[in-house]
Amino acid sequence: MTTSATPRQSLGFLRQRPRWAPPAPLFLLQPLLRRIAQTVAAENPDMFGRLGPHYNALFVIDPVDMPFILLLRPDPENLLLALHRRGNVPDHAARISGSFLDLLMLIDGDLDGDALFFGRKLSVTGNTEAIVCLRNALDDVEGSIAGTVANMFGFAGRAALEALRRASAKQGEPA
Amino acid sequence: MKPPELVCPAGTPSAMRTAVDAGADAVYCGFQNATNARNFPGLNFTLPELEKSVAGAHAGGTRVLLAVNTFPPAGKVDLWKQAVDAGARIGVDAFIVADIGVADYIARTHPGIRLHLSVQAAAASPEAIRYYCREFNVMRVVLPRILTVPEIKSMAAEIPCEIETFIFGNHGLMVEGRCALTNYVTGLSTNMDGVCSPAAQVEYIRDDTGNLSTRLGDFTIDCFSCAENAGYPTICKGRYLTPAHDGAYYAFEEPISLNLSSLLPDLMQAGVSALKIEGRQRSRAYVKSVVSAYRRAVDSIMAGQDPQLDDLLALTEGQKQTQGAFESKRWR
């Protein structure tokens, strides 16, 4: 008998660590996140114009099914993308919360944010205008931000992204 | 039967390319200012963006309609004239207007460019539409979403211009161009500033149990329990306590989207020349899904087949859809 992983199970590798492994110190991931942010920013310089006065706002990107949150400051001169533990959320202007897969597909232009909001799969709090600006800036990015990130990690990155997209498709959503 | 033009929303250059690729016959868009009725933060086009996008759309065989469809406040008409002149310079195919001063300026200054009457003009009678045609050489009217299909058919026989109707998106029952609800609460006007429920004055508050309150300015306009679908934060779609009804209810209209997929053949038979998809504020994912679905449906009808439309319910406001007044005046 064959079985297939449910979407939640398929994301287990992001939530769970092997029993033998120590908890990954988040600061070790910071250089990687910095590189991701810089690569995406360098490839999409026009997106920052849509942020208007909110280019230096701090956004919390909250994948509710993960033990961490992301802190984003989309300022091209002072770019920040950082991981924080869920219990240690810094002061911020706005917070966008949803499942990891929905947020990934939203950032990549594969899902409609309004539809997610209508269906209560996405919640936003804080400065709504800043969120609308960020949404429009990201939506005007041509191509795939997730693909850009995946390409940074070569074959393994692309394979991981494909696995995530399959997981999303299993949820009945476009990938 | 002549194929209708599929008119699709483009809030960003990326959305415009998506619409063109998905089969739009025409796209509509606006500048990043108060000259259009979707003046939302981070949305719309700069002049260089629009110039490049117009060239791209034309290369794909798609016409570009520039929405200049708000009403200039007294003494500020220059911004609207600049938008029109810029649009003419970069080769847009038509202007969508509501204000008679802007319409007059275009008719006199750029008589070679088509003029479409925006739904914001709320022209719903043959007499009103004929006036716009006679005075400004309007070539197409975008009808308010308050007419039945038989009424549209009668209208087509009585006016000298093309008819465009909305087929998907905002239900839009208010008398458009004259709705002052947002102005009343926020001080900004949908009709003159181009902002309905400005995002800077919208606040979402989620309590510990998942209930979501929507506030606009100083007013709470709705509260969704965690099991309820949500809608846009507009006053017309809020729930209110009134003496006329037990408990909070949608006094004006519900959060629901128009979806006329099953009425497409009737609309085309009624003489509708252009079918409009609402949603410049929506994402390119929305544009791709909705435009592709309607492209296939229209092509199927033109080929004499039954239209097979994708299920678009997931993209609708409140995840509910209606045929509204197009089917019956008693839709509610």
Domains, chain A, ordered by start:
26-143 (3.30.1050.10)
CB of B262 closer than 8 Å to CB of B308: no
Mention every residue, 6+ apart, whose C-beta is less than 8 A from residue B253. B171, B173, B174, B236, B237, B332
State which residues form the domain around B241.
Answer: 181-250
What whole-number distance in Å separates Cα of residue B182 and Cα of residue B191?
10
What whole-number distance in Å separates Cα of residue B11 and Cα of residue B7?
13
Mean pLDDT score, B260-280: 96
Task: Give the tens place of pLDDT for each residue, B68-125.
Answer: 999 999 999 999 999 999 999 999 999 999 999 999 999 999 999 999 999 999 999 9
Q: Chain A interface, mutation test: which of B283, B289, B316, most A Cβ atoms within 10 Å?
A: B283
Q: pLDDT band for position A24 (50/70/90)?
A: low
Q: Is residue B332 part of a domain?
A: no
Task: Report CB contact under 8 Å: B285, A110.
Answer: yes
Strands B5-9 and B114-117: what pairing? unpaired
Residues B274 and B225 in one domain: no
Chain A positions touching B15 (Cβ under 8 A) are: 139-140
Q: Chain A interface, mutation test: which of B14, B208, B282, B292, most A Cβ atoms within 10 Å?
A: B14
Task: Report CB contact under 8 Å: B41, A119.
Answer: no
Residues B67 and B29 in one domain: yes
- Residue B196: pLDDT over 60: yes
Chain B positions touching A123 (Cβ under 8 A) are: 204, 206, 212
Task: Give the tens place of pLDDT for each residue, B113-131.
Answer: 999 999 999 999 999 999 9
Q: What tokens does B166 get?
A: 């909305």
Of A118, A120, A174, the CB nearest to B317: A118
Looking at this protein, which amino acid is placed at residue B236? C
Domains in chain B: how many in total?
Answer: 2
Residues B246 and B265 in one domain: no
Residues B194 and B157 in one domain: no
In the prediction, which pLDDT does A23 show?
A: 53
**φ, ψ dihedrals at B22, nearest 5°:** -85, -5
Task: Report CB contact under 8 Å: B41, A129.
Answer: yes
Residues B9 and B132 in one domain: yes
Name the residue of chain B whose CA is nearest to A136's CA: B42
Interface ipTM? 0.94
